Every structure is written in C-alpha cells, then in structure tokens.
Amino acid sequence: MRTQANHLFALIVITIFLSSFYHESKASEWKNFQTRYGNHFAIRWSKKLGVPRLIYGKGIPVGNSIPVTQGNIGEFAKAFIGTNKHLFRVLMPDLKLKSIKHIRGNWSVKFQQYYSGIPVENGVIGLSITDDGLINLIGNGYYPGIKISTSPTISRYEAIAFSKKQYIEPGKAETKEAYIVILPVETPEGFEFRLAWKIDLLYHNNLLDSKVFFVDAVSGRILKERNTIAANGIGGTVKGHIWLTPPTYGIIPPSTQVFYPHLVVKLYGTQYQAVTDQNGFYNLPQGQLRVNLVYSTFENADIKLRVYQYAQPGHSIDEYLSLDPSWTWVDTTNHGGEYNVFYWLNFMHEYFLDNFNYDILGEEQLIVDMYGSGTGAWGSYMIFDDSPYRVRNKFAICHEYTHSIQGDLNIVYNYSNESGAFCEGSADYFSGSVLNDPTAGGDWRLDSIDSPNY
C-alpha cells in the first residue's frame, strides 16, 4: 500500500510540475510574440487546447517590404506561422496551403492541417493580410496533440453502407463524396480524435436531401451527422415568444408569440429529423414505436446554442419533449433569452443568404455560448452573458451577428480608437438597417481632436 501511495504522490507531483511548466511556456511564447510585434493585440485562448484561437490588432508586416502578390503571399504567411510555431503549437509539415482569396483590399490565406497525410476536420489556420502586407488577424484552428492510428479497419465501402442504412430506403441514397478524415470530438476535459470516414449522401426520396455522416473507421459507429430530412408522417407546428421591442431603462416589454422557424425537431428513438419552415411547420416520417415522442433543442445546421461551461447554476438549454406534435415554447427564465437569440440570429442569417447569396458559415455551425462572462462575436463563435436585457434585445443580437460577418470576411479594424468605433458603428448600422430602425445602436463618434472619445 505504501508503494502505491508513493507512486500516486509522485504522479501528482509530476502532473503539477508539468502543468506549471506548460502555463509558464504559454505565457513565455505570448511574451515573445509581443516582443517581436508589439503589444497592440487582443488574443482569445482555447482553454481546452491551450493555444490562441484568435489574435487580432495592429498590422504585422510580412515579406520584408516586398509587395505581396498572389504568387508570394502564401509563402509569406507560412513563414509567419513558422516563426510563431511554438505559440500556435503547430507542426509545420502538417500544413498545406488550402486557399488564397482577395476580398476588398484584404488577402485571406488559409492552411489545412493534416495528420499523417489525412485532413483534420475544421483544422484550418487563416490569416488576413492587407494589400500593404500587414497581418491584422490570425485565426488558429489547428488541433495539437493528435496521436492515433491511421489504419482503418472499416473500409470505404462499408462506411458508405453503414451511412445509407440510416435511411428508410438505402437504395435511394447516392454517394456524393467519401473520404477519410481526423475528426476532433469535444469532451468536457478537452478533445479526442477519431479516424473517421466522411460520407456525403444525396437522398432521392420525395424531396432531395443532403446528409453528411462521420463514421468511425475502426468501430463503424456513426460519430456525427448533419442533415435535414423531409418526409410524410408526423407533422406539427411550433410556436415561441420573441421580443420585437428591445428592453429600455431596465424594463423588459411583453413578448410576442410567433410561429417558430429554423428549429430542428427530432423523432425520439430514430434518426429522423426535420426543420420548421417560416410558418413553424415540420414534417417527420412515422416511427416504429407505439408512442411517437418528438423533441427539440435550439439548434439547426447553421446555428447551435449551448450552455457556456462557466455559467452559473440554473442555466440550461433543455430538450423539449412532447407527445403533441404541435407545441409552444414556454416563456421561462431559462428559455426566454434562448429562443429570442436563436430566432434573431436565424433571421440575420436568412437575410444575408436571401439578399446577397452569402452564407457566413458554409458547412460550419455558428456556435453560440449562452450565459458566459461577456458578450462578443467573431467568425463562427459568439457568446452572450446572462443579462436578461441583452439576450432579449434584437438590436444587440443582430449587432453581434454583424461582428461574425466581419470576422468571416476578414474585415479587420485594428480594434482601438477610431477603428474600434468604426467596427462598432458599422455593426450598429447593419443591425438598424436590416431591422429598419434608425434608433438602433450606441454612440460611436469623435468628440474632439484634442480629447478623442470613440
């Protein structure tokens, strides 16, 4: 027993030492970054991965004063990542150039992460570089610490067959793409990595359906799927409450009941799911169970709400289960802000998609953490605090969505002073313009030359 106790004590000491060493190393690398380029930067760390997920601020020159071009900008960008590889915890041979785009005076350069020659799902590092050769934004989607076997025991043919069996009539499922990937799977402690087949199917039922499966390449288990299934069977209408009038002076006005669109409804015990239309209506296939139980959460293919990991007790996004295929989201303390945020984010997403054919996320979801310690957005991530006034304010929600667009398009204002005011002011403009209300937003102006207040 004493020997076991000594071993346990030694393990604890080693763990504490390594943890302390790791945090000191992380702080040291960030200090080295600031020494190289200055301290005019904001940073967002991934707590689970221990790496910066986003760095933005004053421009960092690349290319040693050589003008950037389509031909050299990829090389310059990769050299910058290599210089800071310890901060990003990147293995340079794992990166391959994915794309170079030029959008309104900014170059968007993206690199895809590979592990033993296999692409890592969503493992992308992106940089925004001005025409003058200044890096204004680094988005780090690299996943360090992958150590798994890359030898599948499930063949491509078997993975396709497993995926097609998720449909009622497998013979009507057509394979669009099927290739192997490394799939990061988030856990409460961090991330696990699985070798998986990514299977993209087109289902020829009464309506065309596209569905992506991730099949464990070792066990054959379905790890993840994205789909929208429309079929005849169980139908219903979902209603919910939203706030058309924002809170003012600490007073929350009455909510308005509406038909609730863009909500995924699932049939318990099956793979069936459907999305409510503009009239809140959905349609599901008939299940095999004696009792057909439907349920839903605040999630669809584009947007997912979840509880922030450090939220105070009492906050939850529960599954709504119902024996009645038609129901109304109840206005409660927990759900009041959730369905308002979800509704207006989908409203903005649909507006830009319908009017400009612009999809901010592509295949990704906008992840929205509810009840966090602040409110902000950039690219495919957003967070709202637990203020009942902010989450019930449609202007604030649409404002944050505009920040996500700014991040997605790599429209970077070196967020300070006048540029910060412009960033916030443009978000106010779009929220007020889309909602057709000129009173939206705050006061972003330059008061005087001598004493600027942005």
Task: Take residue 89 and report the two structure tokens written for it.
Answer: 């915890």
Residue 79: phi and psi, rounded to 5, are -65, -40
The whole-number pLDDT of residue 318 equals 63
Closest alpha carbon to 126 in 143, 112, 113, 138? 138
Under 8 Å between Cβ of 141 and 86:
no
So what's the pLDDT on residue 313?
63
CATH number, domain 156-225, options 3.30.70.3340, 3.10.450.40, 3.30.565.10, 3.40.50.2300: 3.10.450.40
Choose among 129, 125, 139: nearest CA to 68.
129
Cα end-to-end span (Å), the chain = 66
Furthest C-alpha separation in the chain: 75
Q: Which residues pair with 382 in a beta bridge?
A: 368, 377
The answer to whether residues 300 and 346 touch, using CB atoms and an 8 Å cutoff, is yes
In 26-94 the beta strands, taken as DSSP E runs, fall at 41-46, 51-61
Q: Measure the CA–CA gap between 217 and 270, rounded to whole angstroms.
A: 22
Instruction: State pLDDT tens for residues 12-67.
Output: 443 344 344 444 567 788 888 888 888 777 787 888 888 888 887 778 888 777 88
Sequence spans of domains, the chain: 34-140, 156-225, 233-434
CB 401 within 8 A of CB 345: yes
Residue 79, pLDDT score: 93
**Which of 390, 347, 398, 349 minimizes the C-alpha distance to 372?**
390
Compute how many other C-beta atoms are within 10 angstroms of the C-beta atom of residue 184: 19
53 within 8 A of 191, measured Cβ to Cβ = no
Type of residue at 80: F
Chunk the chain into consecutive blocks of 10 residues (it has 454) and report each block's average pLDDT, rounded to whole numbers.
Answer: 47 40 66 84 81 81 84 92 92 93 80 96 88 86 93 95 87 89 89 94 66 92 69 70 81 84 79 82 63 71 78 65 69 66 88 74 77 79 82 88 80 63 81 79 47 40
Alpha-carbon 219 to chain mean position: 27
In CATH, what number does 233-434 get?
A: 3.10.170.10
C-alpha separations of 173 from 34, 97, 273, 278, 287 in Å:
53, 33, 17, 28, 20
Residue 61: per-residue pLDDT:
86
Strand partners, 99: 110
Return phi, psi of residue 9, to 5°: -60, -45
**β-pairing, 41-46 with 173-186?**
unpaired
| Amino acid type, 320 | Y
Reported as type and span, the H/E element at residue 394 is helix 394-408
pLDDT value of position 269: 66
Which of the listed CATH numbers 3.30.160, 3.30.310, 3.40.50, 2.40.128 matches domain 34-140? 3.30.310
Using the structure block, give the residue that is written with the tokens 């299977």. Answer: 199
- Claim: this prediction has a pTM higher than 0.75: no
* Helix (H), strand (E) at residue 371: strand 366-372
Query: What's the rounded Cα separation, in Å, for the pair 334 and 316?
Result: 6
* Nearest of 121, 187, 116 to residue 152 by alpha carbon: 116
Question: How far is Cα 358 from Cα 101, in angstroms, rounded to an integer?
Answer: 16
